[in-house]
Chains A and B, each alone.
Chain A
Amino acid sequence: MGHGPAVKLGKDNAAAYKSKIGISMFIVYTLTYFGFVVINAVSPALMEKIYFGQTLAILYGFFLIIFALVLAVIYNHFCTAAEARLN
């Protein structure tokens, strides 16, 4: 059989911890994303309301993109720390 990684990987003792925080952050982002989808579907006029000088649609869209990067950096920070601590 040809399964298994193309390069030899060491045992990762931090895998369970990383998986746990990954799932938590996934839930947070998924709720934020589907909040955006539901408002668009159920109350699109709300998305035209102006907050801080711009439509809610644009603000929420920018927030989703920037929030993705912020969460990704935080996730990497915790994962890297766990790898250093447990491996």
Chain B
Amino acid sequence: MIYTQSPLAIGLFIFFVLFVLGLSFFLARRTTSAAGYYAAGGNVHWFTNGIAFAGDYLSAASFLGICGMIATAGFDGWMYSIGYLAGWMVALFLVAEPMKRLGKYTFTDALDSKFNSKAIQLMAAISTLVVSVFYLIPQMVGAGVLVQPLLGMPHWVGVCIVGVVVTIIVATAGMASTTYVQFFKGALLLICSTIVVIALLTRGLGTDPNQGDTKEYHKFQTLNAVVTNGSLQVADYDVVAGLESEFGQAGFVKLSQDGAETVWHLKEAATGYELVEALFVTEMADGTKLYNGAPKEEGKFFAVGHIQEITIDGKEVAQTGAVGPLEFLNRFKDSTVVLWGKKYIKAGDTTTTIYYQKPTPGSRILRPGLKFKVDNASGLDKFNFISLMLALFCGTAALPHILIRYYTVPSQAAARKSTIVAIAAIGFFYILTLYLGLGAMTSGVINITDNNMSAPLLALSFGVVLFSVISSLAFATVLGTVSGLIVASAGAVAHDLMDNFLGMNMTDHAKVKAGKISAMVIGGIAIYLGIIFEGMNVSFLVGWAFAVAASANLPAILMILFWKKATAQGVAASIFIGLTSSLGLILVSPDMWVRYGLLPQDAPVAFNSPAAISIPASVLTLVIISLMTQKKGAMVEEGAEA
């Protein structure tokens, strides 16, 4: 197919795995107390914690998903980067220091610090588990996606490797090993991504993406066709599906030459038609898939992504040569880039997915509208878009696996400083994602059926060494994030539910043991979910995890901190309503209807992003219930001080 296994990549991957396991066993000997296990002893340096924040936060969705989305949809993909980063301002200005002051091991600790309420303990622990599981699934699926090109092994092997390694990391030294795995991974991700971007800028942009003369790019052809007696005639080709067929009615034709079938996009010309070569995937009734008419292994399906025309000072050029970061964007803006449209055609019991060329001005790619429907959009489309951007903004400061990192530093000032380091590191990385995505878009490396591998494949265009490092790092990215999620989930089970909610009053040693057992059970569940959700888009569930976290957790956190009249009943009800309304709206959304095998237009609700409804619903619930329970509930006394 598009990539083959490299011994170097396998070697580096094994090195990474052995390194993190060695680190975990080393730290395990020093991690005996509950504070050590759940909060790394609370004495991690703020700079280390800041980079670990970045390592935790820059998940497979950021590295693989966003780069892939930018590579195929331009600026719209980058809007995820902007939304994810903006969310850190909520964390810095409103949440960081109070979270450090109020909590001990888990996000529930901070919420429950003023009330000692069983209802809050239960709801916050359930919310932590739901959000973490939503976040875990795409990470595990991402591991499966990565292991196929990296090690040549099936999806389930990748999921199992990540599941087992991460469970060992968390079960040995908990937050201590997780912190250092995330620190190393975060630092390496920044360094290696910078190297790829520098290599990209040095190569510049060109109309022939031959990857530095290492790999020839497929020359997409254009044919001329005439219509004689109502039927299409193409020199040297037989017409298999012509103008009257399902293909023809959709604007395509299928031709055959020497027994090989090809699909072409029809464009009207002065005399007859111009036919532009397309890619196609045929799915038979028995589920067999053919790529450009042949099995995947025959390699007839090409990598795509090229510039049609580069204009500098009004003149067309083939290469820009080395460019600076601003010049890269300016040259891109003035170019015409070939993007790829997608169309489904059903003929009999076979379905053909056609990917066809769509030459697009660079300036159009560097503005919104290729993925999100914002041009000539209905009110509902605009609502959907605003709701997604609201979820990204509000979600970060409500993710339990991010919030627990505030307990690993010694002071409120350290919590604040580590957030600023995180903002600098994550902001810098998100700027790099723009270059990585646009670089992949123009370097002939995109696997159009699965854009998740765009960033590693861009690295491959600079040689197998960089590809090996980036791919192994992408795998380490999954390890770092999944470790954080399992620590958060284990804390919710052992500390919030067993120790606090059920009142088991465990000893320090028993708390650590319960955390380790919980980590192993959650690791097993994560492996199972990663296998059954194979094929799901990596960034698909992450957006929803943000929406659920923003709806269930953020109103509760902020109202406890800033509204004196918040009561325990109001907080618990707010988490419940935020959780159920966001989950409920997701389950009846058009995207889910497609997954149920139904038509999206038949879904009970017409939007996919629930945040703009579920966040206000959660806030409203908290206010109403708190006002109704003023005499019964304990009020927050120090809210205004927070």
A residues with a Cβ closer than 8 A to B are 1-7, 9, 12, 15-16, 18-19, 22-23, 25-26, 29-30, 33, 36-38, 40-42, 44-45, 47-48, 50, 53-58, 61-62, 64-66, 68-69, 71-73, 75-76, 79-80, 83
Contacts and interface: CB of A to CB of B under 8 A. Distances in A.
Contacts of B374: 40-41, 44
Chain B interface residue count: which class?
35 or more
A44 B104 contact: no
Interface in B77-127: 78-79, 81-82, 85-86, 88-90, 92-94, 97-98, 100-105, 109, 112-113, 116
Contact of A54 (B333, B372, B410, B562): B333
B193 to A, nearest CB: 15
B89 A26 contact: yes
* Most chain B beta-carbon neighbours within 10 Å: one of A25, A45, A72: A72
* Most chain B beta-carbon neighbours within 10 Å: one of A33, A53, A71: A33
B378 to A, nearest CB: 12
Given A5-B103, A79-B416, A45 B375 contact: yes
Contacts of B419: 72
Contact of B363 (A4, A48, A62): A48
A63 B119 CA distance: 43
16 contacts: A2-B495, A5-B100, A6-B407, A7-B411, A16-B641, A23-B94, A30-B89, A33-B393, A54-B330, A54-B366, A58-B75, A61-B79, A69-B424, A69-B427, A72-B420, A75-B420
Nearest to A5: B104
Contacts of A79: 413, 416
Contacts of A53: 326, 330
Given A9-B412, A44-B367, A54-B330, A3 B103 contact: yes
Interface string B351-382: 00000000000011011110010110100001
Contacts of A23: 93-94, 562
Contacts of B499: 2
Contact of A5 (B90, B101, B112): B101
Contacts of B430: 65
A34 to B, nearest CB: 8
Contacts of B495: 2
Nearest to B382: A41
B39 interface: yes
B389 interface: yes
Given A2-B499, A2-B500, A65 B82 contact: yes
A22 B417 contact: no
Given A26-B89, A73-B420, A61 B94 contact: no
B237 interface: no
A25 to B, nearest CB: 5
B367 A48 contact: yes
A42 to B, nearest CB: 7
Given A58-B329, A65-B431, A68-B88, A7 B642 contact: no
B38 interface: yes
Contacts of A29: 86, 89, 93
State the 4 A-B residue pairs at the shortest beta-carbon distance, nearest first. A7-B42, A26-B93, A22-B93, A6-B42
Given A6-B35, A75-B92, 12 more contacts: A3-B112, A5-B42, A7-B43, A15-B101, A26-B94, A44-B374, A44-B375, A48-B367, A53-B330, A54-B333, A58-B329, A79-B416
B75 A83 contact: no
A82 to B, nearest CB: 10
B386 interface: yes
Contacts of B82: 36, 61, 64-65
A33 B393 CA distance: 9
A41 to B, nearest CB: 5
A44 B423 CA distance: 27
* Most chain B beta-carbon neighbours within 10 Å: one of A5, A48, A76: A5
Contacts of B47: none
**Interface residues of A, dominant DSSP:** helix
A65 B101 contact: no
A53 B366 CA distance: 12
B217 interface: no
A54 B364 CA distance: 12
A44 B641 contact: no
B385 interface: yes
A33 to B, nearest CB: 5
Contacts of A33: 86, 89, 393
* Most chain A beta-carbon neighbours within 10 Å: one of B86, B90, B333: B86
* Most chain B beta-carbon neighbours within 10 Å: one of A19, A45, A56: A19
A48 B40 CA distance: 48
A29 B500 CA distance: 37
Contact of B368 (A18, A44, A68): A44
* Most chain B beta-carbon neighbours within 10 Å: one of A2, A4, A18, A75: A2
A30 B419 CA distance: 17
A76 B427 CA distance: 17
A68 B393 contact: no
Nearest to A18: B97
* Most chain B beta-carbon neighbours within 10 Å: one of A6, A19, A73: A6
Nearest to A38: B386
B570 to A, nearest CB: 19
B640 to A, nearest CB: 8
A79 B130 CA distance: 35
B286 to A, nearest CB: 44
* Most chain A beta-carbon neighbours within 10 Å: one of B97, B372, B640: B97
A54 B329 contact: yes
Given A12-B101, A40-B79, A7 B367 contact: no
A58 B76 CA distance: 11
A53 to B, nearest CB: 6
B125 to A, nearest CB: 13
B423 A69 contact: yes
Contact of A50 (B363, B372, B386): B363
Contacts of B372: 40
A75 B101 contact: no
Contacts of B98: 19
Contact of B416 (A37, A65, A76): A76
A46 B348 CA distance: 45
Nearest to B503: A1
Contacts of B412: 9, 12, 15
Given A3-B112, A22-B93, A40-B79, A47 B641 contact: no
